[in-house]
């Protein structure tokens, strides 16, 4: 019996801007029987590059993936185009790294359980033992306790890489993982690792950021999610948010409000990544928000 279920694809592209790109892609998809259901594009004048995200349906049995890949390879040659193709049914495998503060971890797991984040958590790595999180139901997700000291850092990071490879993790999320990744690991994870920073960058860096903010009498606090690079906290920014505070707020109030911001900013950044809405563009990102 033939199924009438469509396959939904997402394709993202970036290339030097020139006339005819949209027409060429639309014509190629139409020739293959595709129905475009969503399309977003952006022409960045500074770099003269063109970015696009397209969602399209293919009737079951009409065109298979190799044919689609051949078509985009042809378009890539014509337009000097970088492209990525995936189906919406694919749930990216995600490895989550966390330290003592677990609010972002808890939030990600909750959104995963209720179906808000279409991910497949394949492991949790922490530099603290499982007992720290004994109140959490990890729902069978493998937990890896990897203690770290300056002397054991290379060995610990080698184990992180090994766990990634063994679990086929496509994305690493630093959910308040309070360890600085080495340049080597950062380069290896380029474009595949998202960090949440407890500041609306640029801002108060280092220890006790909310206490620093309190001492300066700030009126806004925020959080920043960005791709990890070898430049500490300088990677391409995916998402940011802020919340207004007042002179009546204590440092504990700032911490409480800051945790809320961190949770929602990280969740949005992860969703933008897995839905192929974030495209790296040098030191910046193009984010086609929903």
Question: What is the set of active-site residues?
Answer: 233
Closest CA relative to residue 240, chosen from 226, 224, 254, 228: 224
Contact 170, 94 (CB under 8 A): yes
DSSP 8-state class, residue 274: H
d(CA 98, CA 175): 5
The token pair at 112 is: 């995963």
Per DSSP, which regions of 164-203 are E strands? 171-174, 193-197
Backbone CA torsion sign across 148, 143, 100, 174: positive
Helix, strand, or coil (residue 81): coil
Contact 227, 172 (CB under 8 A): no
């Amino acid at each position: 019996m033939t199924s009438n279920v469509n396959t939904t694809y997402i394709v993202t592209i970036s290339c030097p801007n020139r006339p005819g790109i949209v027409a060429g892609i639309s014509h190629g998809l139409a020739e293959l029987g595709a129905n475009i259901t969503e399309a977003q594009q952006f022409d960045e004048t500074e770099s003269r590059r063109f970015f696009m995200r397209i969602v399209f349906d293919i009737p079951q049995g009409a065109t298979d993936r190799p044919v689609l890949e051949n078509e985009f390879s042809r378009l890539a040659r014509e337009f000097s185009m970088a492209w990525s193709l995936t189906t919406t049914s694919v749930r990216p495998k995600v490895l989550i790294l966390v330290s003592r503060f677990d609010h972002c971890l808890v939030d990600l797991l909750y959104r995963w359980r209720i179906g808000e984040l279409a991910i497949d958590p394949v492991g949790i790595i922490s530099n603290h033992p499982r007992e720290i999180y004994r109140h959490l139901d990890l729902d069978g997700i493998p937990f890896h306790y990897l203690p770290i000291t300056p002397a054991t850092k290379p060995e610990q990071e080698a184990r992180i890489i090994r766990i990634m490879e063994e679990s086929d993790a496509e994305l690493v999320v630093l959910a308040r993982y309070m360890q600085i990744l080495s340049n080597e690991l950062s380069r290896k994870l380029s474009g595949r690792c998202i960090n949440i920073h407890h500041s609306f960058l640029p801002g108060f860096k280092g220890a006790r950021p909310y206490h620093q903010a309190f001492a300066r009498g700030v009126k806004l606090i925020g959080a920043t999610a960005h791709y990890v690079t070898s430049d500490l906290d300088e990677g391409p920014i995916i998402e940011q948010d802020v919340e207004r505070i007042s002179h009546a707020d204590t440092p504990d109030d700032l911490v409480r409000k800051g945790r809320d911001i961190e949770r929602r900013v990280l969740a949005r950044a992860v969703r933008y990544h897995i839905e192929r809405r974030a495209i790296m563009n040098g030191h910046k990102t193009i984010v086609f928000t929903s």
